[in-house]
Amino acid sequence: MKLILAGSGSIARKHIKAIQNIDGVELTLLGVDEAEVAAVAKEHNLTSYSTDLSLLTASDADAVILATPTPLHAQQTIDCLNAGKHVLVEIPMGMNLEECRAITSAQEATGKIAMVAHTRRFNPPHQWLREQFKKGKLHLHHLVVETFFHRRENVNALGKKRDWVDHLLWHHACHSVDLFGWQADEAIIKRWAQQGPVSSTLGIPLDMTIGLKSTSGKLCTIALSFNNEGPLGTWFRYICEEGTFKVRYNDMTDGWDKDFNYDWEEETDNGIELQDREFINAIKENRQPRSSVHDCYDSMEILHKLEYLSNN
């Protein structure tokens, strides 16, 4: 399978490592910064790389992974689908509901696979917990999520200046809103949101709080900040009838911070690799992938409503 990875930032490098563990994939790296693309290719022993972005649609590649700047996701996804490529796009698939609708329409028109990189669905602890919910062994009351960064300047995870602005709602909250809907496995019927002052530097609010409620009364509370000093990242607390489970990446503890060893027998515990394997296997098996653009559309509709609430 011929696969193009567009992007050379931190998340693209994680995709490279994941794909290199998957047999039968011929990878080409694309980017806009010639020196950076060459350096990343050298670091990961890639012989095929380019800064010619026309290859996204003009090449004979079977599939594309888009780890490009957020404002480009929607149009690049649509262009690649229309060019006959299967697409895995990093979140968010679009920056508004209109873009997301256009993507789902393009997928339906082309019949190609279009998947969104909602990696939380593939991280082993979250998968394990979902199985317990489905089996009735655990019952969720409240998912509490903290997403904290210190990002008052317009730089990326590598400290490099960006020419576009990241977004707490449409990027970082997107992970957690989708995760709650997936874990609750029922409609989200109530929602609220509020935001702090808009940054004069970035032009976006640097703090947000979000609340969600599902049909049966399950709750989700999300706190997000670009003002927080301290460790960066996201922490998940699942408060269940049978106990509390705290998740960070692949680590899980109980509510008292004691290690909790969950059973995991897959070929890897790397969430991005599991996600990329799902994309590739869905192409090979000619089926819809988990976290297809259609599966994730409901989450984008909720973000659209939360944006309205936070602005009013």
Average pLDDT of span 192-213: 96
- Residue 251 is which amino acid? D
The number of beta carbons lying within 10 Å of the beta carbon of residue 53 is 16
Q: Three-state DSSP class for 51? A: coil
SS (HEC) of 10-49: HHHHHHHHHHCCCCCCEEEEECCCHHHHHHHHHHCCCCCE
Average pLDDT of span 194-203: 94
**CA 6 to each of CA 50, 80, 132, 251, 267: distance values in angstroms, whole numbers, following the listed order:** 10, 11, 36, 30, 26
CA distance 147 to 277: 27
- The CATH number of 120-269+298-310, from 3.30.360.10, 2.70.70.10, 3.90.1150.10, 1.10.287.1770, is 3.30.360.10
Q: What is the pLDDT of residue 148?
A: 96
Predicted structure pTM score = 0.95
Per 3-state DSSP, the chain is made up of helix, strand and coil in percentages (nearest 5) of 35, 25, 35
Cα–Cα distance measured from residue 115 to residue 88, given in angstroms and rounded to the nearest whole number: 5
pLDDT tens profile 123-181? 999 999 999 999 999 999 999 999 999 989 988 777 788 888 889 999 999 999 999 99
What tens digit of pLDDT does each residue of 218-239 get? 999 999 999 999 999 999 999 9
User: To 5 degrees, how large is the angle CA 7–CA 13–CA 17?
Assistant: 130
Ordered by start, the domain boundaries in the chain are 2-118+272-290, 120-269+298-310
What pLDDT shows up at residue 160? 82
C-alpha atoms less than 13 angstroms from C-alpha of 152 in its C-beta half-sphere: 6
DSSP string, 114-136: EEEE-GGGTSHHHHHHHHHHHHT
CATH superfamily of the domain spanning 2-118+272-290: NAD(P)-binding Rossmann-like Domain (3.40.50.720)
* pLDDT tens, residue by residue, 272-286: 999 999 999 999 999
DSSP state of 211: E
Place of tokens 């489970």: 245
Residue 163: per-residue pLDDT:
82
**Per-chain mean pLDDT for the chain:** 96
Beta strands in 226-297 (DSSP E): 233-240, 243-248, 251-254
Tell me if 2-118+272-290 shares its fold with 120-269+298-310.
Answer: no
- Which percentage of the chain shows pLDDT scores above 90? 92
